[in-house]
Amino acid sequence: MGSTRFAALGAALAWVIAASAGAQTALSPQARGGYRVMTALTVQVEGAVAAGGGVSDGTLWAASLDTAIRRSGYAREVQRAPAQDSLKHAALEGFQLIVEGRVRIDGPADRVTVDYTVVDVLSGQRVLSDTIAAPLPYEYDLGETFWIPLIYQLEKIVPTERHTYVRIRGEGGTRVSGFGPKPLVIPNSGELRVEVFVPGTYPWKAEKWGSFSQSGVFAPLENDAILRIPPAPLRPWAVETGLYMMQFPDLWLQRSFLQDHVFIRLGLQQYLFGFFLPDPWANGTTKYQGIISLPMVEPGLALGYQFGAPEAFLNSYVYGAALLRYDLDLRLPDPVAPLETQGMFGLSWRASPRISLFAEIGAAYYPLCKGYLVLASKGGTDSGPFAFLYGDQWFLEFPRWRLGVRFYL
């Protein structure tokens, strides 16, 4: 048969490559954690099943078979076969075996007969065919013991497999996992040869210090297939602009270290221009203005820690910032409160490798100040949703929040 010849040719090629390869890695069958099995079960009920009798629901029968195979450890993946062309699908998707069964339930007799076959996908041959005839099981028996004869026979089957080598290309030093029990490291030559079984699908993950982690699913069908892992260097420099309190635009430059976990920011928070939309009916000094301008800028420095991996879709971080409140009228640090510190918690959403959106919330603490003067500087407690605490020489206000966009350079 053509498929058999093709399998033999593949195996021979694999042997030749294995004998001559340098940087290559072999893979044992056990290392793969089992085979990939498809199941297809039809259930036919003849006559009425007595109330309180055994299981006649086809869904439960199919699920019990999948569970039994999965639980056996023989298979690392069990998937229900499509209604049509199950062999073709199994081959294309890298499954090794198809377990097909026909369940006939004789309701009045309270008995069941299951005719099952096991098909080796690569050879297309039926490698097992048998029947289970038994009293109609209750749900517990179906889930726990009914399929034992089938599992017992299935575990003896070694499906036809083809060994081949694939090449993994990427930056030297990249750790690639998914092709064996231990991660592989791409040598400085940039290419690694790995023995795999085909057909097969291999979820992989590549990690390298200073780069984003990458992952995917590799499904080699032919010998000498190539998995290319493109360089994905981290972008340690970023410029971010935010709306502090959703009112005041600011600008920060960020430098990240230690796989993007630690970052330092240098930037400018400003109050020369901002949105100001107080309650137009509020009394006191607040009036509906739309725009606010105060002669103060705050150059600042921040140090923070990001919890998640840099490529994470959502990430969280914390940082502390110290800002010098510079009074542009006096051309001096603000005599009322020369220093502002902030403690913030942030969530960022990496919309693309170069852009992330973020939202931050936290509190601001003003040391070295007269607390009542800082409070008086706000102009009224109706100037926005906030809470405060103060003492003779400090002032604390919360919450503070900020939204913005970070551009990775």
Partner 1 sequence: MKVPPRGTTKGALALGSLKWFFLGLTIPLILSLSSCWHPPFNADLSASEFTVSKLGSPVWAVTVKLYSEASGGYYLPYRDPLQYFSGAWVWKSPTQIRFGCLQITGPNMYTFNSPSLGFPNEMGNAVQIRTPMGYNSGNYVFFGSSGGTGIGQYALPSSVITTYWSPSTLPAVGMGMVPYTGTYDLFYMAYFDYGQLNYVSSPIDSTSPFPPSTTPVPFLHSVPVPAAPGFFAQSPANGGFYLSAKEANGAFATYFWSYTGAEPIRLPVNVQITEMLSDGRLLADSSSSVTVYSPMGEYLFTINTGALHFVHERYDLVNACWISVFTRTVEIPQQNTDNNQYRIEIYEIKTRDLQNLAR
80 binds partner 1 (CB under 8 A): no
Q: Residue 78 CB, nearest distance to partner 1 (Å)?
A: 20
- 108 by DSSP, 3-state: which? coil
Taking the least distance from each CB to partner 1, the nearer of 320 and 338 is 338
Choose among 101, 98, 147: nearest CA to 125.
Answer: 98
CB atoms closer than 10 angstroms to residue 370: 18
Nearer to partner 1, 48 or 351 (CB): 351
* Residue 102 near residue 45 (C-beta atoms within 8 A): no
Binding residue for partner 1, selected from 285, 305, 391, 409, defined by CB under 8 A: 285
CA-based nearest residue to 358, from 291, 297, 408: 408
Q: How far is the CB of 370 from partner 1 (least distance, A)?
A: 8
Binder to partner 1 among 215, 241, 316, 393 (CB under 8 A)?
215
Q: Which is nearer to partner 1, 43 or 91 (CB)?
A: 91
CA 316 centroid distance within chain: 15
| C-beta closer to partner 1: residue 251 or 403 | 403
Pick from 26, 115, 151, 386 the residue near partner 1 by CB under 8 A: 386
Q: How far is the CB of 92 from partner 1 (least distance, A)?
A: 9
Member of 185, 330, 347, 389 binding partner 1 (CB under 8 A): 330
Closer to partner 1 by Cβ: residue 151 or 292:
292
Give the DSSP letter string of 184-220: EE--TTSEEEEEEEES--EEEEEE-TTB--EEEEE--
User: 201 vs 341, which CB is nearer to partner 1?
Assistant: 201
**Piece in contact with partner 1 (CB under 8 A), picked from 108-116, 118-126, 176-184, 294-302:** 294-302
Could you tell me if 14 and 223 are in contact, meaning their C-beta atoms sit under 8 angstroms apart?
yes
Q: Which of residues 223-262 bind partner 1 (CB under 8 A)?
A: 224-230, 243, 245-248
Quote the least distance from Cβ 147 to partner 1, whole Å.
32
Q: How far is the CB of 21 from partner 1 (least distance, A)?
A: 17
How far apart, in whole angstroms, are the C-alpha atoms of residue 87 and residue 49? 33
DSSP state of 233: B
Count of residues of this chain found to bind partner 1 when the rule CB under 8 A is applied: 77
Tell me the closest approach of the beta carbon of residue 381 to partner 1, in angstroms.
4
The residue among 26, 6, 319 whose CA lies nearest residue 166 is: 26
167 - beta bridge partners?
A: 193, 226
> Which H or E run includes 241?
strand 237-244
Of 159 and 170, nearer to partner 1 (C-beta) is: 170
Locus of tokens 């796989």: 259
Nearest 5°: phi and psi at 16?
-60, -45
- Considering the rule CB under 8 A, would residue 221 count as an interface residue with partner 1? yes
For Cα atoms 390, 402, 302, give the angle at the middle one, nearest 5 degrees: 75
Q: Report, in Å, the least distance between residue 8 CB and partner 1.
A: 18
User: Taking CB under 8 A as the criterion, which residues in 30-69 touch partner 1?
Assistant: none
Which residues, 148 to 207, sit near partner 1 by CB under 8 A? 201
Residue 305 near partner 1 by CB under 8 A: no
Q: How far is CA 225 from CA 22, 165, 195, 209, 240, in A?
A: 17, 7, 11, 26, 42
